[in-house]
Amino acid sequence: MRIKDIRLYTISTTIQYKGIFWEERLLRPIDIYPEHDTEGPGEWNLIKIGNELYKVRGTFVEIESDEGLKGVFGPLGAPIGDIEAFIISQRLKSLLLGEDPFEREKLWDKMYRLLVHGRKGYGMMAISAVDCALWDLIGKALNKPVYVLLGGPTRDKIRAYASMLGFSVNPSEAGKRAEEYVEKGFKSMKWFLRYGPQHGIKGFEKNVNLVKAVRDAVGYDVDIMVDAWMSWSVDYSFKMACALDRYEVSWLEEPLMPDDLTGYIQLRKKMRSAGLNIKLAGGEHEYTRWGFKTLIDNEIFDILQPDIAWAGGITETLKICSLASASGIQVIPHTAVMAATLNLAFGLPSNVIPLAEYLVKWNIINQAVYSTQYHPVSGEFDRPRTSGLGLEFRKDIEREEFGFFSRAKR
């Protein structure tokens, strides 16, 4: 079997949603500048076109073999994957045409070596998308789910945690929402804190009050995690960790910028000296086995969170998981594409990947164009039953072949 063609598509469909979809956004590193701090949630891949009706769009890659099989993956990046699509179409496509898709290690290495200036960021995200589409193609060729090709299934179900991005952080509203998701069967949930050092003591108290409201609402039988999305300082992170430890927060995620390894080392030392129980989690914005080896060697995180769609695809994330397992560190991937996370998780033991992130609102958007969608029932995912990654486009989607230059002129 050979790779016959690689195509990029901008695909759109509609979803129905009652009420405001994006109620709030997360704190961002750029929010240290007041003109950005005041920005609202925005549309984030959504366009409202009617009462409770939204248009969703994204960019997807499709790899076709000479036997007529197609491996797909997406959506690519954010907001709609233009940069990754450009890299795939202009740099990677010519490298891969005519190659055997089963030779995934060779193809990954060739892409990595070609895009040596893109070994982090958008270049690696483009490689990740191609790699995942190749796995989808291989699984379809063998008529097996990808997790079977990885050595699984290792279990029948995997527990999900609800990732509450986009919901209101008003304490009373968050408390009610937290109760709602416990009733749906979730035993773990993550909330995104909206305030940082630039918001002073009032912002600090608002962060604490949010966590207190959620804890009061769900009790102590439910795990609570918080995400600072790279937007705090060492001192602010330590003070916040001290304040949140009394509420038995399971982990604090990405409090510092990803390249601030010195800051993370200082923060870990301060947290250990204070005897805090809260763990540090991160790695969403790290790439490849080499990047994660640095995190492991420097004992930066208790929990590693590579995103399969960004860190190097399934091929590379397997290596990251091996490094983590050898060091006794659990991996709980950040999830841009649910199908990829589930196939990886069901292919590896539960002591390596114990939990799957379920980004509640993003999974409505990111899975909208697919006929098979993955949503937890009673807080758990069943293992996929379809071949490949289980990604097939719905028949009623709107599809436009990706053209970077024609789009730029509009």
The set of long-range contacts for 92-99, using a CB threshold of 8 Å and a minimum separation of 24, is: 92/6, 92/126, 92/127, 92/130, 93/6, 96/3, 96/6, 96/63, 96/130, 97/3, 97/4, 97/5, 97/6, 98/2, 98/3, 99/2, 99/3
Q: Is 59:81 a contact under the CB 8 Å cutoff? A: yes
Q: Is 242 left (phi over 0), alpha (psi -120 to 50) or beta?
A: alpha
Annotated catalytic residue, options 36, 199, 334, 375: 334
Strand partners, 252: 226, 280
Q: What is the 3-state secondary structure (H, E, C) of 17-45?
A: CCCCCCCCCCCCHHHHCHHHHCCCCCCCC
Q: Is residue 375 flagged as an active site residue? A: no
Q: What is the 3-state secondary structure (H, E, C) of 250-316?
A: EEEECCCCCCCHHHHHHHHHHHHHCCCCCEEEECCCCCHHHHHHHHHHCCCCCEECCEHHHHCHHHH
Q: Is 79:248 a contact under the CB 8 Å cutoff? A: no
Contacts of 38 (CB under 8 A, 6+ apart): none
Strand partners, 393: 370
Q: Which residues are catalytic?
A: 334
